[in-house]
Chains A and B, each alone.
Chain A
Amino acid sequence: MGLLIFFLKVYIVMLVFVIILYIIRHFVFTYNRVMGEQRVSYHDVLDSDLPYVSVLIPMHNEEKVARYVLDAIILQDYPKDKIEVIPINDHSTDKTKDILEEYASKYSYIKPLHRLGDEQRGKPSALNDALKLAKGEIIVIYDADYIPPKGQLRELVINFIDPEVGAVMGRVVPINTPKNLLTRLLDLERSGGYQIDQQARYNLGLIPQYGGTVGAFRKELILKFGGFDPEVLAEDTDLTFKMYLEGYKVLYINRAECYEEAPESWKVRARQIRRWSRGHNQVLFKYLIPFWKSKDISLMQKIDGTLLLFIYMVPFLMLLGFVDSILLFYLGEMEIMSIFIVILSLMAYNSFGNFAPFFQIGLAGFLDGVSRRLRLLPLFYFVFLFNLWYTSLGFIDALVDLITKRKAVWQKTERFRGS
């Protein structure tokens, strides 16, 4: 029993230190973004010799949103003779196919790919099939619910003038923020993640993340990697780490804002965050060791990359910490541990109000110029518990995938536009 109590106490102490590490990381990010020097992209470069670009849009039953994204891409100021748009109809059973054919008949550069046979469904598989057809040297990806502003393709693509750039990532902004409480909270969360987290990682030369949409990458690289791994649900994080392992840079372009539809129900949000956690943890299991073995990555990048890889595992560790605390409570050992509980609780909330401390989310909203919405910050306490639960379930999913070699099935996020 003495040994058990010792291990339970050691676990709590170690957890506190892990969480302190994260809070230091996020304070540095916030400090850097709010008052430090900012790195910008190559957007002021004027280049008449723009590369040929293939825009891929994976779609599964997207009749509610398909027209919006296609209309937005048609309005892009990118030369039309240097662009092809490949909307990928991935086994849709609604009117997505008809909508795509309608656009293809009007615009020669829109070339739909219909996947209707026995192929594996899911974003990575759909992208792999589209990559075989794509003629562009640069691939730009948008999810079907995204609405890119007019000049965005140029802003993303111009960065590939630098041969060291493997991928670029823009900022995601919810378009349906006023819809309900959840969308307002998600807007604040996205703000914390992009305005501060991604920009600071880019500023500090760490690991800005390619996010799978509003992003672009070199086709030759993804072909060299053998395409996207269809068994990994977080194909974006997977690509990010592949890029760094190959010695390429990922750029974050804070000004390349693209509008998305944030989930409008908690049920959809729960599924989304569970899928993200599952996919992200699959990448953790896959790349942690190769990442540390790489000679192309600096020590600071390795530390930041490791903290990034573990970000969806820490909530599970915290859940274990709660169970650990309850055991210690009934074993009569709380006197000594109580101060650690205080630290753990404060730091836990601080660090993982929503994968970011409350001050990071608050100051991101502050930089964005929002005011009254900032008063929602205390509600992140409840979101914290929600995230803790569904992220932990995602981690368990990934663990089961690893042990049993189970194949992950892609689950599409439900759309709400027009409903």
Chain B
Amino acid sequence: MKSMGLNSGSSANSEKKIIHYARFGKILNVKKPLVYIQLLFSVVISLILLLNLKEVSHLISYFSIYFLNDARILEETVASFFKLNYIGYSGRFPSLYESVIYIFISLIFILYIPKVNLLSAPIKIYVQFFFLVLLCSSLFFYLVPYKFPYSSNNFSLLYMTIQVGILSFIPVVLGFALSLLNVSTAIFFLNILITFITLIYSFVFGVVRYIAMLYLLDKLSYIWMANFFFNLGPLLDMIYISSIYSFYLSILSEKYATKIAYWRWVY
């Protein structure tokens, strides 16, 4: 057969083993029961995590405490129902001098980043947003530091709430995304494996970030708390979630390209 399809062979003269369906009308030959089983499975995993938040949060705290001096594990009930463990750690307020320095640093970045040609526009916007939050924080600590409503322990609890929230959502988010790829039982189990790999990654990343943030709040002061919360919080988690998903999808895309049975035609 002469080369006609989407993916030609290694050279222009090579013959094609498979002629693919045209992209406008091809559909995945998905096994619908596997889709529903995976969706159900994902919801169950999320529920299991939600019902064991105390244990999950304890595990995060347990690993984190090894790297933080004079830290202790505390317990708190969140939203009148969920018991969480978190780390109690010291922190400090910024001095007036530090606040002024950060105001200037933030202003310099906000005003001059748009003029840096080396960075692309999305990165500039991210950096500007980052320093805008820092500017708000610096101004707050410069003007009304005594009104800052949080301590290091409050932040620690907030972080833990968010982290266990992310862990609970990962199976659902990935469950929905991966379920549509279920063309065989092997893929179904691979999808489950990917979900667990992402959960493990998220757990490790969550611990490392927790340690780093608590440490930096003590060393660099509470002035960074808002940035940790808004810029380095859950939106950042989407980067590794979508990274793992996209890497997996790209591998599957190559694999599916060789299996005509995985596809159906529109008619």
Within 13-54 of B, Cβ neighbours of A (below 8 Å) are at: 20, 22-28, 30, 32, 35
Within 236-270 of A, Cβ neighbours of B (below 8 Å) are at: 254-255, 257, 266-267, 269-270
A1 to B245, CA, bound (A): 44
Tell me which of B25, B28, B226, B237 contacts A254 (CB under 8 A): B25
The residues of A that contact B169 with a CB separation of less than 8 Å are 342-343, 346
Contact A38 B266 (CB under 8 A): yes
Query: Which residue of chain B lies nearest to A35 when distances are taken between CB atoms in the complex?
Result: B30
CB distance from B213 to the nearest CB of A (A): 14
Whether A195 sits at the interface, judged by CB under 8 Å, is yes
Tell me which of B230, B250, B252 contacts A326 (CB under 8 A): B230
Contact B233 A35 (CB under 8 A): no
The residues of A that contact B229 with a CB separation of less than 8 Å are 329, 334
Contact A376 B30 (CB under 8 A): no
Tell me which of B23, B150, B254 contacts A195 (CB under 8 A): B23
Query: Which residue of chain B lies nearest to A255 when distances are taken between CB atoms in the complex?
Result: B24
Contact B165 A359 (CB under 8 A): no
Question: Chain A contact residues: over half helix, strand or loop, or mixed?
Answer: helix
CB distance from B161 to the nearest CB of A (A): 5
Contact A383 B173 (CB under 8 A): no
The residues of A that contact B150 with a CB separation of less than 8 Å are 332, 334
Query: Which residue of chain A lies nearest to B174 when distances are taken between CB atoms in the complex?
Result: A359
Contact A363 B238 (CB under 8 A): no
Interface string of A13-57 (1 = CB under 8 A from B): 000000000000001001101111010100000000000000000
Whether B91 sits at the interface, judged by CB under 8 Å, is no
Whether A160 sits at the interface, judged by CB under 8 Å, is no
Whether B200 sits at the interface, judged by CB under 8 Å, is no
The residues of B that contact A369 with a CB separation of less than 8 Å are 6-7, 20, 23, 253, 257
CB distance from A341 to the nearest CB of B (A): 7
A365 to B23, CA, bound (A): 10
Tell me which of B27, B122, B266 contacts A385 (CB under 8 A): B122
* Interface size bracket, B side: 35 or more
Contact B129 A362 (CB under 8 A): no
Query: Which residue of chain B lies nearest to A171 when distances are taken between CB atoms in the complex?
Result: B24
The residues of A that contact B125 with a CB separation of less than 8 Å are 382, 385-386, 389
Contact A266 B28 (CB under 8 A): no
Contact B24 A385 (CB under 8 A): no
Tell me which of B129, B165, B180 contacts A342 (CB under 8 A): B165
CB distance from A63 to the nearest CB of B (A): 27
Whether B214 sits at the interface, judged by CB under 8 Å, is no
The residues of A that contact B254 with a CB separation of less than 8 Å are 371
Whether A291 sits at the interface, judged by CB under 8 Å, is no
Tell me which of A31, A350, A357, A366 contacts B249 (CB under 8 A): A366
Query: Which residue of chain A lies nearest to B6 when distances are taken between CB atoms in the complex?
Result: A369
The residues of B that contact A171 with a CB separation of less than 8 Å are 24
Contact B180 A377 (CB under 8 A): no
Whether B140 sits at the interface, judged by CB under 8 Å, is yes
Query: Which residue of chain B lies nearest to A332 when distances are taken between CB atoms in the complex?
Result: B149
Whether B121 sits at the interface, judged by CB under 8 Å, is yes
The residues of A that contact B28 with a CB separation of less than 8 Å are 34-35, 367
The residues of A that contact B123 with a CB separation of less than 8 Å are 382
Within 336-372 of A, Cβ neighbours of B (below 8 Å) are at: 336, 338-339, 341-343, 345-346, 348-350, 353, 357-359, 362-363, 365-372
Query: Which residue of chain A lies nearest to B26 when distances are taken between CB atoms in the complex?
Result: A367
Q: How many A-B residue pairs have CB under 8 A?
A: 178
CB distance from B92 to the nearest CB of A (A): 18
CB distance from A43 to the nearest CB of B (A): 10
Whether B136 sits at the interface, judged by CB under 8 Å, is yes
A27 to B174, CA, bound (A): 12
Asked if A341 meets B233 with Cβ closer than 8 Å, knowing A385-B122, A385-B126, the reply is: yes
The residues of B that contact A336 with a CB separation of less than 8 Å are 79
CB distance from B81 to the nearest CB of A (A): 11
Whether A380 sits at the interface, judged by CB under 8 Å, is yes
Asked if A270 meets B121 with Cβ closer than 8 Å, knowing A332-B149, A362-B177, the reply is: yes
Query: Which residue of chain A lies nearest to B176 when distances are taken between CB atoms in the complex?
Result: A27
Within 94-124 of B, Cβ neighbours of A (below 8 Å) are at: 120-123
Whether A98 sits at the interface, judged by CB under 8 Å, is no
Whether A418 sits at the interface, judged by CB under 8 Å, is no
Query: Which residue of chain B lies nearest to A44 when distances are taken between CB atoms in the complex?
Result: B267
A386 to B123, CA, bound (A): 8
Asked if A376 meets B246 with Cβ closer than 8 Å, knowing A331-B149, A341-B233, the reply is: yes
Whether A81 sits at the interface, judged by CB under 8 Å, is no
A268 to B177, CA, bound (A): 32
Whether A118 sits at the interface, judged by CB under 8 Å, is no
Tell me which of A34, A181, A254, A346 contacts B180 (CB under 8 A): A34
Contact A35 B180 (CB under 8 A): yes
Inter-chain pairs besides A34-B28, A334-B150, A385-B129, 19 sampled, C-beta below 8 Å:
A266-B120, A326-B136, A329-B230, A334-B158, A339-B162, A341-B234, A342-B169, A342-B234, A343-B165, A346-B166, A359-B180, A367-B26, A369-B6, A369-B253, A371-B250, A373-B250, A374-B250, A378-B243, A385-B126
Q: Can you sample 14 A-B contacts with CB below 8 Å?
A: A40-B266, A171-B24, A181-B120, A270-B121, A326-B136, A336-B79, A343-B169, A349-B242, A358-B246, A369-B253, A377-B245, A377-B249, A378-B239, A378-B243
- 8 closest Cβ contacts across the A-B interface? A332-B149, A266-B121, A359-B177, A377-B246, A342-B165, A382-B122, A345-B234, A371-B253
